[in-house]
Structure 1
Amino acid sequence: MSYEHLEGAYPLGRWLSDQRRAWRAGQMPSKLADDLDALGIVWDTADAQFAENLAAARAYFAEARTLAAPRHATALDKPVGQWLTNIRRPGGLGKDPKRAKVRAEQLAAVAPEWNPAQLGWTVDWQRHYVGLAALLNEGALLTGIVPGVTYRGDDIGRWLTRQQRDFHRLNDEQQTRLTKLGIEATAAPAQRPAPTSASDGSKSRTAVAGMTRSADAFRRGLAALAQYIEREQRTVIPRQHTEPITIDGQDHDVRLGVWISNQKSRSDKLNSEQLAQLAALGVDWV
């Protein structure tokens, strides 16, 4: 209820705000407090806002069967998609650990998998997976779910094609879930032939070294991103920003804005673990 809410001509919103102020100051008669408790009044305004958004999340889940909402999603006239994105970020459930734990439990009661990053994949993956399962439950055949077949606005067919193509890059749980739906890799990844000459061996070692450098660069970027978010409490990073960081006793200057842009442009080449690590920091590009 907003502060300006009127019940007829009576300023009910202002009256309720006054009662909350009196309750916080310890000036409310216990009988009145008990009566208001019986009506389900939430005394803390932050908790009241959370309760309103949680109700919107319940409404969204009742329709979509998931809380993996896109950012633009709304329910009960509330921007539930953006709210869910915000609370999945580090510290998004509040700085008080007890309150954060209670809120996480309330969300889990609506949808145990409300935060897919904890499972090792992104919100986008979770939503498409739920969409695929829904289509199959409605009687669709896997062979008929081709690019262009959608569910609630998402192209499930195109997503399914990517999962089959990149099956070997998914984590074990993702593979298990897809296998239960009858999905397998379209083809096994090609085996890398053993070096047959000194030249081939040199090329192989160069490729491995390149992969190692790429993994190290990702690790530095991820650490710099986590440090930046913890300090600034936001995930919007100016492209020109450079973040100094120390890893294993070595100092690095990470061009964080450029690094984030690069990860976004090559997100289809990141593995599920890397995507989940980014999503856990609130970066999922959904």
Structure 2
Amino acid sequence: MQADLAGYDTVWDVVRALRAHDETLAAALDQQRRSGPADRWTLPDKIVVRVPDRYDVEQYLQHLTIRLITATTSPWWEGYGAATAFHATNGHLDVLVEHTTATGYPLGRWLHHQRKARRCGVLTAARIDALDSLHMQWDPRDARWHIGLAHATAHRRREGHLRVPPDHVTTDGYPLGQWIRGQRKQYTGGRLPAARAAALEALGIEWSPYEAMWQRGITAATAFHARNGHLQVPDEHTEADGYRLGQFIVAQRMLHKRGTLTADRVTALEALGIIWNSRDHRFALGLAAARRYHHTHGHLHVPTTYQTSDGYRLGAWLKQQRANLSNGTLTTDRSHALDTLSPTWRQR
């Protein structure tokens, strides 16, 4: 016979009254509510049920148990049980609002409601402590920001800077490049809190990376000019500190050719003697190498395979100038510059 559980409200009231005066019973009931799916709940030892023989005992007890525990406990414990199980498996409670457990419990939504309840001051201290024991993140956005800061700190400690491309991903899969880009965007828009800006500035973040790249480049170019008296930098040239000055100069020439290099930057580079035309630049590099060779040897009888100590292929360059002279493509001013240095350059 099926049991009819209608009209058991008095029983539920009695059990509620008992649990109000019996902490052990209350804890046992709450423990069942949070232990998992309802079909696994069992009655506490302090509750004994006698069932007449005519009833389907197993089914009756299951229905009675579910109804009794549901009626005498808070649904909060069901959510807490789901949170406990998730934390036991994953070590955290960092889930999306849409997250649902394998048993169908809307854990993400439940956690969202707990955060809201705490902000409104209606979540009890005991429940706050219970969630804190599971490392509840009350402000998940703040927690995610600190995860980003931790990765940024590790990168700064390892590499000495935060200059990462937007698509940079750490070895553990964290999209650090996107995170830093997002911080710059918030800073530019005036939405990054001062404390966060200060923390990033302590790591040396560059809020305007393009301006920072220019400053690094012009600083290196100025130092090169101070050492050498010119800015005839080979395209592949790298400074002692690893800075690729040659590529910086190439980029500035490209911007100048497009007309997108600002006037103040043009002026700064021209003050260092930059040669905007890449062909003129390459000729100037070759002429400078020839001048150094002539200063040492007193002639320009340079073997075709000869390379300077810094790897410049002077012999091949002079051969190309002779070929240009022969086919009429060497300009008068260039041939004059070589002749002024030494007519021996014409001799094979």
TM-score (norm 2): 0.37
Bigger share in strand: 1
Q: TM-score, normalised by structure 1?
A: 0.43
Q: Which has the higher contact order (CA 8 A, sep 6+)?
A: 1
